[in-house]
Structure 1
Amino acid sequence: MLFSQLAVECQKIINSYQDYQVSVAIIDGEQSFLYKENQLFRAASTIKIPILLASYLNLNDRLDTVATIPEELIVEGAGVIPFITGKLPFTYRNLMELMIIVSDNTASNALLHSNSMHHVNHLMQKIGCKGSKIERYFMDESAVQNGFDNYTTAKDMILMLQQIGEPGGVLNDSQRSDALRILENQQFEDMLPAYTFDEEIRYYHKTGGLTGVDHDVAIINYRQKKLYVAVLTQGWNDGFTGKKCIAEIGKVIVDYLKE
């Protein structure tokens, strides 16, 4: 399958969900498919990627020291920390792993607090993100009711992933390798990777979901090929149609990679 065919098939899928909001960015070297890539979406847990980037930069000298988790930032939702008995001595690196691998909201809040919203937002601006912004902690519903939220775009997500997938960005090679390790261990596989069990296709990705919102953003490697993919969706009336839309795009990507 040529990249032009991939673009045609992705557009067909997007058109079949025209009653909803879908944004797609797929980059393969110099080739790209972009659809509403600058549209602003509620970021959900995809905004944990810039927190990961910031943690390597701001906490680098203490990643393997015991982390501080403020009591007021311990929240439920995704993750495991609030449900573990006793107080385990998590390191900052452990929090980074939990934030991505099981999308732990408490770990994310602790890291956001340690980095500060200002520094994470400044980092996103530094790497060229024009629409992304963090305005609240995770699971802070009162902030949402007062008009504060976290936002991103498909284009911005690609820029963030490229900081991990390409040399010469804000992370050094060791940090990029560690970030890829963490992203590859992502436990939520029901969107972009849903239609393949091929172990040669490697996904380094982060999902995100809220009521009516489903996202998946990824670096996808297959042999000598590497794609950057961001699929953001919102406006769903149930908990599975958005995931299905993203999975269908993921299947077309698999077909493109393997043909």
Structure 2
Amino acid sequence: MSKDRMWEQLNERVAEMIYAFPGIAGCSVKSMVDGNSLAVNGDVEFPIASTMKIPILLQLLMRDENGELDINELVEITPEMIYPGSGVISYLEGPVKLSILDIAILMIIVSDNTSTNLCIDYAGIEQTNDMLRALGVDNITLRRKMQDTESVIANRENVGTPDDCVLLLEHLYNGRPSKKSAERCLSVLRKTKKSLLNRVIPPDVPLANKPGGMAQVRCDAGIVYLSRYPYAVSIQTSFAEIGPEEQENYMVELGLMIHSVMSTLDSSNDYGQGISLLNRVA
């Protein structure tokens, strides 16, 4: 079928870009409609920085659904709880009380490190990994909190593969581990944020994602809700020999190439006939 050849050609184009990256790069893409997929270095482990916050959020929501915590419980944020790079929370004045859900939202939309480490406390490192393994997501592992320099030096890194980031997103799209928690998780991930994929995807196309970045590392993973052909994508880099801006521009270029093909598939039948203008073409 012609559509399958489009995927084969895209895989070749993605591979060319991945292997040209000055460092290590990986990419995985999967249609949420027909199961077509591609991966280049999809099974390589990368540090996934703040993209790790997707499973942390999901585990929090599952614990709330199971009655193990109340996500609407208010938590008082004290000065000793604030971590470096904590963003919004560190600028608030006076006593601050936020619900666990609002703390989780800050973790996602502004990558607030105080929020993230509180969420890890409530989700549990071991429990989050157990949840992932129960889903068959074997290659995403939470090992440490944010800003834990000693753990970074000791190689206790939060890691994931492009393939398993896409697998986790596919589970969420299909309502797993539960429809309620998956929908709530995706609702938070769809909130507006600054990200690499936001530079790729037009504003009128819904996007549920979480980017991440550290020294020599960039990543983003999300579901792009094209009307007929939604897809999940994860792009990751490490050991970068170029600066942060060049890394991000590279990932945006790769993302634009992928999205161009996905958009074409979205607006075509399986043989390549465009359908978006059929009502206006004789």
TM over 0.5: yes
Secondary structure of the 2:221 match is strand
Residue number in structure 1 paired with 2:124: 116
Match for 1:79 among 87, 99, 107? Answer: 87
SS of the residue corresponding to residue 225 of structure 1 reads coil
Gaps in structure 2 of 5+ consecutive residues: 265-282
| TM-aligned CA deviation for residue 163 of structure 1 | 2.6
1:23 pairs with 9, 26, 29, which one?
26
Q: C-alpha distance in 1, partners of 2:23/2:208?
A: 26
After superposition, what is the alpha-carbon deviation per residue over 1:45-93, rounded to whole angstroms, capped at 9, x for unaligned? 1111110110011133411121365765421225311221123221011
| Alignment-derived partner of residue 146 in structure 1 | 154
Q: 1:13 is matched with which residue?
A: 17
What's the offset of the Cα at 1:192? Answer: 2.3
Q: Tell me if structure 2 keeps the 8 A contact 1:216–1:231.
A: yes
The answer to whether residue 183 in structure 2 is matched with residue 177 in structure 1 is: yes
Q: Is the 8 A contact 2:86 2:115 kept in 1?
A: no
Note the 1:14-93 alignment, pairs <5 A.
14-17=18-21, 19-28=22-31, 29-60=34-65, 61=67, 62-67=70-75, 69=77, 72-77=80-85, 79-93=87-101
Indicate conservation of the 8 Å contact 1:193/1:247, yes or no: no
The one-letter code of the counterpart of 1:187 is K
Pick the aligned partner of 2:208 from 201, 204, 207: 204
Map residues 93-112 of structure 1 onto 2, 5 A cutoff: 93-112=101-120
Cα pair distance change 1:147/1:250, threshold 3 Å = closer
Which is further off, 53-62 or 75-84? 75-84
1:240 counterpart SS class: helix
C-alpha RMSD of the superposition:
1.9
Aligned length: 254
Task: Check whether the contact 1:53–1:171 (CA below 8 A) recurs between aligned residues.
Answer: no
Question: For the residues of structure 2 that align with 1:241 and 1:185, how far apart are their CA atoms?
Answer: 26
Moved segments of 4+, more than 4 Å? 68-73
Q: How does 1:153-192 map to 2 (within 5 A)?
A: 153-167=161-175, 169-172=176-179, 174-189=180-195, 191-192=196-197
Q: CA deviation at 1:208?
A: 0.5
Q: Distance in 2 between matches of 1:246 and 1:186?
A: 19
- CA distance in 1 between counterparts of 2:220 and 2:75 reads 28
Q: Is the 8 A contact 1:108 1:138 kept in 2?
A: yes
The answer to whether the 8 Å contact 2:50/2:211 transfers is yes
**Could you tell me how far apart the structure 2 residues matched to 1:185 and 1:78 are?**
19
The code of the aligned residue for 1:214 comes to R
What is the distance in 1 between the residues matched to 2:82 and 2:235? 29
The yes-or-no answer on 1:242 pairing with 2:250 is no
Segment of structure 1 superposing worse, 203-212 or 174-183: 174-183
1:198 & 1:175 partners in 2: Cα distance?
25
- 2:145 maps to 137
Q: CA deviation at 1:196?
A: 4.4
Report SS of the residue matched to 1:81.
helix
Which runs of no fewer than 5 residues in structure 1 stay unpaired?
none
- Alpha-carbon offset, residue 12 of structure 1: 2.5
Quick check: 1:251 aligned with 2:259? no
Percent identity of paired positions between Structure 1 and Structure 2: 22
Range 155-164 or range 25-34, more displaced: 155-164
Query: TM-score scaled by structure 1?
Result: 0.90
When residues 255 and 203 of structure 1 are mapped into structure 2, their CA distance, relative to the original with a 3 A threshold, is same
Deviations 1:82-105 (A, max 9, x none): 221123221011011111111111
Q: Is the 8 A contact 1:13 1:248 kept in 2?
A: no
Query: Aligned partners of 2:233 and 2:172: how far apart in 1?
Result: 13
Q: What is the alpha-carbon distance in structure 2 between the residues aligned to residue 115 and residue 233 of structure 1?
A: 27
